[in-house]
Structure 1
């Protein structure tokens, strides 16, 4: 299985900043040490033209040239720097590369070791998200699929970060070619939610059994509404529903999250839907716990990819 990483491009943050930037380097190291079936490649940067498939040119220019306002930088949560721009582009590029591998190269499953920046809107960033990697990659895959004269490509976004994918919902609003599913904390960020195609709001303290039942029902409703399976899926496998997470407010165990991943990959495999996986959020009180949750997600992704290719998943 192929995975794409941008962890070499470190975003410089001031001392005491709450974003756990080190988790990407630690995840890369954990995958390299324990999952030899995953080949890690450096992420390419997304171009202006690729970003413009989901973002307004004025926003791309402001980010690139460093003319974002103080208020815009506060909404993102990161100070501007050239390194921030490069890393944001490569985070998008990694999801593009994973989607191409899954869809066009026949891999079936591929991953971004970061990504899932679902709070970014077409015209602004928000919540540690500068550009929306899944939105850009979905639109680009649709364009490339069309250029190959294969007709239209329908896309499914399965967003299981604990925070609602408001930016993705807004970008894909009224777009019948992209179905957005979001399971998230009802009282968590963002305060003002957008309308996904299917939103499932979960109460504070939601634990494994309640969460997995809600996931099963949501997937069944998704298949019912879609009718025929879409041609490509993006899975935002946030670690932040975990009980250890500083920003999660839910109470899922590590095993509950592993079961979540198994059910998502099984549902996609049963319908032969290629999937690009992104890590999305994870803000554990112990960063090692977050890294292990995401490493296990990639372990399940590797098993799904081997099954797709007809190999033994073990």
Structure 2
């Protein structure tokens, strides 16, 4: 059965100016339920991770500043969020949802987190609406519990996964692959194991051509036993922050190709949704829901 991490706290209210990006977290499962793609049995509400799971990835001092709400104002502004106990609980539950998703993916081939993809959070910093790096925390959980020996992180959000790259810079068991806008946030990039920077205005054919050429060879060479996929939909032409020119059809084809490669090589995959900032929320929700629909068609 497809399992999807979701909790109402994912869409918890924030001060004016922060609410719109959060709407998708309640609209996505609602739309999937409405269309009959999933039932309530597919959804699970994650608990809270033990602190030692967090500090296997993030520096203890940084985590304590988050937990105790003592992160300096300058660092809070860097995250884009005003710090609160509710926000920290949200970040913790998202991380636990991704950890739990690894187990479900190992059982059925694929599992989702409605939120997550918080790839701008580094070992001792948060930025770009990311405080705890959910897929990095889950990857370290797999490694430290001998549940994986070789992990591939496929980051196809329009923004480079700089935090993820920094966290795993010296970890040979994790290969980080980021295909992102060259002229986009973060403006100071970290070094992934494989970065493919894209120029503004990249089209459907060019984008998919690069992915088709790169991913199968990467999987064949690295031979991962687990994959994390960050499926941001901010690659859409409609996205106000993305700068690329992809259609919803190409975004869906991207997801299908990633899943087909995971199936071909029998590699379980955990999927976190990442970014999406189109002015019309319907474009964001449709593109994200397409990712779920493709997985249902291919796996179940």
Considering the TM-score relative to the shorter chain, is it more than 0.5? yes
Show the counterpart of 2:62.
59
Q: Distance in 1 between matches of 2:212 and 2:250?
A: 13
Q: Any residues of structure 2 matched to 1:54-203 within 5 Å, and which?
A: 54-103=57-106, 106-145=107-146, 153-203=149-199
Normalised TM-score (structure 2): 0.95
Show the counterpart of 2:267.
273
Contact conserved, 2:117 with 2:273, CA < 8 A, in 1?
A: yes
Show the counterpart of 1:258.
252
Contact conserved, 2:278 with 2:284, CA < 8 A, in 1?
A: yes
- SS for the counterpart of 1:8 is helix
Change (3 A) 1:225 1:197: farther
Q: Distance in 1 between matches of 2:217 and 2:192?
A: 13
Unaligned 5+ residue runs, structure 1?
147-151, 307-314
- SS for the counterpart of 1:233 is strand
Give CA-to-partner distance per residue, 1:256-312, whole Å, 9 cap, x none.
Answer: 000000110001111000000110011111111101100010111222332xxxxxx
Change (3 A) 1:135 1:66: same
Contact conserved, 2:216 with 2:261, CA < 8 A, in 1?
A: no
Change (3 A) 1:182 1:19: farther
Give CA-to-partner distance per residue, 1:4-31, whole Å, 9 cap, x none.
Answer: 1133354432213375111101112012
Give 1:247 shift.
0.8
Show the counterpart of 2:7.
6
Normalised TM-score (structure 1): 0.91
Contact conserved, 1:200 with 1:218, CA < 8 A, in 2?
A: no
Unaligned 5+ residue runs, structure 2?
none
Change (3 A) 1:180 1:13: same
Show the counterpart of 1:149.
none
Structure 1 segments, 4+ long, off by >4 Å, are none
RMSD after superposition: 1.4
Q: Distance in 2 between matches of 1:269 and 1:280?
A: 22
Give CA-to-partner distance per residue, 1:94-146, whole Å, 9 cap, x none.
Answer: 1111111112xx11111101100000001011110000000000010122235
Q: Distance in 2 between matches of 1:185 and 1:221?
A: 22
